[in-house]
Structure 1
């Protein structure tokens, strides 16, 4: 009986640690899709909900930023190869965002270098780099 307890305990620990990794991976995939869809269809003001609350507090969106958000429409969101791990609870992603100026119909592309951090207590990924700068 004692011979069986060790392998069972080890298997249980390995399975539980695998579950945590799966939760983090699933949460990342869901967050990346939700953020891309929010930026593409709902706009940058709605995407602010993905930004880490500490970052939002330290760097609030100004009225001028809000005015810029209303002047453009996202016509493309290309996340390339997707997020790249940059540590246990961090990923980096470079995204090309196509914008159309609603007043002039001019089209341009900005590059957004994103850093995402995982909060294991909330099983949530937070955008650490804030909303993209539209004045590139």
Structure 2
């Protein structure tokens, strides 16, 4: 009987570790999924849908009418997602765009911050939307 106890502790430790790892993998996969769809939403000009990626408290401050004059020509991840232990992730993308009033190609670096909301089990973009001047 005494030899079973260490084995049982080892099994419980491995099971607990693998469950925690699985949970982190699911969060990382959800983040990749949401940032991909965020990029597609921006890239294809579905600006009304952008507010769905922001935390509810931040949504009222978004000037969507200004975005309607922008046409995105390229969206490229230049620094892949990095998740820190506090459930905050960052990535950088380069966005090429044309403002319909100027018809001149411009580029900007968008430094994105994403935070995991444990109550809603989702990621929100907490950094401001890019400034297309």
The match for 1:66 is 64
Residues 86-131 of structure 1: CA distance to partner in whole angstroms, max 9, x if unpaired?
4430112222211112244221112222111012333311100132
When normalised by structure 2's length, the TM-score is 0.85
8 Å Cα contact 2:90-2:113 kept in structure 1: yes
Which of 1 and 2 has greater Rg? 2
Counterpart pick for 1:115 among 113, 116, 130: 113
Distance 1:66 1:120, change over 3 A: closer
When normalised by structure 1's length, the TM-score is 0.83
The match for 2:28 is 25
The match for 1:128 is 126
Give the paired residue count.
130
Counterpart pick for 1:53 among 41, 52, 56: 56
Residues 34-91 of structure 1: CA distance to partner in whole angstroms, max 9, x if unpaired?
111111013333212101112224xx12xxx333211111111112121223443011
Counterpart pick for 1:36 among 39, 63, 69: 39
8 Å Cα contact 2:38-2:53 kept in structure 1: yes
Q: Equivalents in 2 of 1:99, 1:7: separation in Å?
A: 55
8 Å Cα contact 2:45-2:72 kept in structure 1: no
After superposition, residues 96-115 of structure 1 pair within 5 angstroms as: 96-115=94-113
Q: Equivalents in 2 of 1:67, 1:25: separation in Å?
A: 32
Structure 2: 5+ residue stretches without partners: none
Counterpart pick for 1:9 among 9, 12, 15: 12
Q: Secondary structure at the match of 2:19?
A: helix
